[in-house]
Structure 1
Amino acid sequence: MKIKEEEKLFNKGFITITIINFVVFLVYYCFVVITAKYATQSLGASTAQAGFAVGIYIIGTLLARLYIGKKLELFGRRAVLRYGALFYLITTAAYLVSSNIFILDGVRFLNGFGYGAVSTAANAIVTAYIPEAKYGEGINYYGLSTSLAAAIGPFIGLLLLPLVGFKAIIILAVVLAFITMLACFKFKVNNIVLTEESRAKINTFSLESFIEFKVLFIAGIAFLIGIAYSSVLGFLSIYADQLHLVTAGAFFFVVYALVVTLTRPMSGKIFDRHGENAVMYPSFICLTIGLILLAFTGNTFVLLASGAFVGLGYGTFMANGQAVTLKLVEKDRIGVALSTYFIGLDLGLGVGPYLLGAVKGLLGSYQHIYIFCAVIPIIVAILYMIFYKPGKATKVNG
């Protein structure tokens, strides 16, 4: 493809799909930190019902990743991106009619499906705009859009909810989703031309048609890292309130975003020049340090320092795990492979709060949850060292 032969990383297509991805994730992360509070305070839901309303979004996302990941190249990347964005807009607007917890559950499920469809298409489309020699750098810049959304979205949600209320945030999200949909319909997307053998494989109902086995290990690692980070998304607001550091808790995500923005380009270049191990091990170490600092924080400085290390850890891993995934598969399996990777990551983020809630019942405090989660990246590093062989995954970067 002509686009793939271009050596310029920041071409129009790359920038456009990166911005689209940022807004889609921004809307998701904005809602994820405020849904439980809205469900309990405005809809009279129990804590269990509120937790289900948060988690059912991930179920919709996982179903979308499984189905769309399998059928992406058959349907065509262009169609999935455009009509997925339209569905995402409609289901985002549907929050306005969520007058009870059951309607909210349905809206969350459908909105999660729309989010999964658009993000799966975008993750595949961006690979066509990155020169092969710059895959690590390109994916890191693209992943920056996700990492920034994971920081800015919760910050916006936590900041605006007490000021303007849930419905005002919905309206803002609808406007953003509408602009994104227009961009998707105007954006030029080249579909992959499939061979008859590839089409037959896609239409075959088998586990291989839904899951890429070559990336199961890195997807499993992503699942564990997702559980560790879910402790931040799920409990930081409550934990900061207990410590009387509510304002610092909101700015935790700002520090996270700044650190990710400053370090992401460097980590991408290190990935390309020295291989994945040069960035993966430091990401595990930094996430552990960040969670330990969070567990023992007693003032604003330590809390914000924790945000910096969590950004270096989770933010770096998220993009470089995606880059590793791309190195392991052929072009016609990119959609399924990325879907498999993000299923692992999303599943960790989704089930994490439930699992950690049970751990809290055993350990007794949020501090112990963060200590528990700090151990997870250490276990991940050991598993990665034993089972992952980077020498077998050099196809893309040569």
Structure 2
Amino acid sequence: MEVTQKSEEKLWSFSFVTLILSTFMLFLGFQMLLPTLPVYVKDHGGDSTSVGLVIGMFTITALIIRPFAGSAADRMGRKPILFIGLIITILSISSYIFAITVFLLLMLRLIHGLGWGMSTTIYGTIASDIIPKSRRGEGMGYFGLSISIAMMLGPLLGIWLMNTYGFLILFVLASLFSLGSLLLSNFSAPDKQKDNRGSTHKPFLSSLFDRNALFPSLLMLIIAITYGGIVSFITLFAEEKQIDHVGWFFFTNALCLIIIRPIAGKVFDRRGEFLVLFPGGVLGIAALYYISFTDSTIDLIISAILYGFSFGLIQPSLQAWTINRASPEKRGAANGTFFSAYDSGIGIGAILLGAYANVTSYSSMFKLSAFTFVLYLLVYGLYLWKAKRNKESNSHPIERTTPY
């Protein structure tokens, strides 16, 4: 019994390491495009609204496909869905160079969103399969490091390639990294089809979403709105303010994510979600309000530190919380629900904040984004208040004379 327990608590394995590497390569190719696609849109005659649409519409198809991908993973197994998603991703990125108009680029982004939604949902599901429950916060933190490192290196590499060699080489290398992800994914984890046969007996519509994942996913949606504004417009904001080396924002932001994720995961496992979710919200307000007054590279780095610690505390903790609330046969649906909310927030942020910036300014847009974190804290505070009230009611059942 003791040997079995130790085996169950093992975190690092060959499957987990290859999963991290495969995820890193996929996100590296993706992150290379985040600060460069807005410039590509501008070069093809687009404005801030067009940039928001190109970023936002990508998330719409990812949002649509994620529940189906998660359900299919629970019913059919992880790897077939993952392979299809990665192939679509590779073909989409390699076709960007042929998009000579904003409309064509928008169409390719819609297709790319399908592949991205499928592959990232399944990677998160495989991670939840591999990581033992008692170390889920810690394990998700380490899994998220692959994404954070890609966030640190990808934008710098993408901007350097764009400025030095142009968009052709940029898109080719981004495609090759996605291809590397496909090759490595074959070793990332054993397929879980046999473990999840019970989910095939559930009605199709109920298998698309996991009800237990809805509240943490709602919080993720709210936070992702701010991220949609940052990834879509921080490069253009720096150009407007004549701030050089905007790549340092992405580097510093991701470096802070790398530092805080393992710490946040351990705090989540040992003390619960409050000690990571609440401080993360406060830091988020400070970060976005500070960005709105930024006019130098140093200011940009300071705001990146604040935002990196904020997002690094919140995102992996919400994902671990989502998985902890889900039954094993619903992990695919839970991850689909969580990432659908993530995509929805990014899309909403890119489109609405882009339209707002078009009639005001990027500085005003980031001030507005800061209030999104206020909303996040209010919603989370309401949840805590209701949970405390329910706990008090359950501890005094005799005193309940009226139904709630």
| Both proteins in one fold, TM over 0.5 | yes
Deviation at 1:196, TM superposition (A): 6.2
Deviation at 1:158, TM superposition (A): 2.8
Aligned partners of 1:87, 1:347: CA distance in 2, in Å? 20
Aligned partners of 1:127, 1:72: CA distance in 2, in Å? 13
Aligned partners of 1:141, 1:357: CA distance in 2, in Å? 33
Contact 1:4 1:128 in 2 (8 A): no
Code of the aligned partner of 1:33: P
Counterpart of 2:333? Answer: 336
Contact 2:74 2:331 in 1 (8 A): no
Counterpart of 1:381? Answer: 377
Counterpart of 1:396? Answer: none
State the SS of the aligned residue for 2:23.
Answer: helix
Counterpart of 2:355? Answer: 358
Deviation at 1:19, TM superposition (A): 1.8
Deviation at 1:183, TM superposition (A): 1.1
User: Which digits, 9 at most, give the CA deviation of each residue in 1:51-106, with x for residues without a partner?
Assistant: 43332221221122021112112221122223332332223222243344443233
- With over 3 angstroms needed to count, the CA separation of the structure-2 counterparts of 1:127 and 1:309, relative to structure 1, is same
Counterpart of 2:298? Answer: 301
Counterpart of 1:282? Answer: 279
Contact 2:82 2:123 in 1 (8 A): yes
* TM-score using structure 2 length: 0.88
Q: Which has the higher contact order (CA 8 A, sep 6+)?
A: 2
User: Which digits, 9 at most, give the CA deviation of each residue in 1:333-381, with x for residues without a partner?
Assistant: 111111111111111111212211333356x222222121112112211
Of the structure 1 ranges 3-12 and 366-375, higher mean CA displacement relative to structure 2 is found in 3-12
Of 230, 233, 241 in structure 1, the residue corresponding to residue 239 of structure 2 is: 241
State the SS of the aligned residue for 2:33.
Answer: helix
Of the structure 1 ranges 320-329 and 294-303, higher mean CA displacement relative to structure 2 is found in 294-303
Code of the aligned partner of 2:227: Y
- With over 3 angstroms needed to count, the CA separation of the structure-2 counterparts of 1:193 and 1:295, relative to structure 1, is same
- With over 3 angstroms needed to count, the CA separation of the structure-2 counterparts of 1:45 and 1:361, relative to structure 1, is closer
Of 253, 257, 274 in structure 2, the residue corresponding to residue 256 of structure 1 is: 253
Counterpart of 2:315? Answer: 318
Structure with max Cα Rg: 2
Deviation at 1:136, TM superposition (A): 0.7
* 1:28 partnered with 2:26: no
- With over 3 angstroms needed to count, the CA separation of the structure-2 counterparts of 1:8 and 1:111, relative to structure 1, is same
Contact 2:155 2:251 in 1 (8 A): no
Percent identity between the aligned chains?
27
Deviation at 1:34, TM superposition (A): 2.1
Counterpart of 1:395? Answer: none
Counterpart of 1:71? Answer: 72
- With over 3 angstroms needed to count, the CA separation of the structure-2 counterparts of 1:40 and 1:253, relative to structure 1, is closer
Counterpart of 2:396? Answer: none
**Equivalent pairs, count:** 385
* 1:371 partnered with 2:363: no
Counterpart of 1:11? Answer: 13
Aligned partners of 2:228, 2:123: CA distance in 1, in Å? 23
Aligned partners of 2:272, 2:317: CA distance in 1, in Å? 10
Deviation at 1:276, TM superposition (A): 0.8
Counterpart of 1:220? Answer: 218
Task: Name stretches of at least 5 consecutive residues in structure 2 with no aligned partner.
Answer: 391-404
Counterpart of 2:40? Answer: 38
- With over 3 angstroms needed to count, the CA separation of the structure-2 counterparts of 1:178 and 1:16, relative to structure 1, is same
Of the structure 1 ranges 190-199 and 136-145, higher mean CA displacement relative to structure 2 is found in 190-199
- With over 3 angstroms needed to count, the CA separation of the structure-2 counterparts of 1:380 and 1:47, relative to structure 1, is closer
Of 247, 269, 292 in structure 1, the residue corresponding to residue 266 of structure 2 is: 269
- With over 3 angstroms needed to count, the CA separation of the structure-2 counterparts of 1:91 and 1:316, relative to structure 1, is same
Counterpart of 2:324? Answer: 327
Task: Name stretches of at least 5 consecutive residues in structure 1 with no aligned partner.
Answer: 393-398
* 1:130 partnered with 2:126: no
Aligned partners of 2:47, 2:240: CA distance in 1, in Å? 21
User: Which digits, 9 at most, give the CA deviation of each residue in 1:180-232, with x for residues without a partner?
Assistant: 1111234442314267652121xx342x2222122212211111111112221
State the SS of the aligned residue for 1:246.
Answer: coil
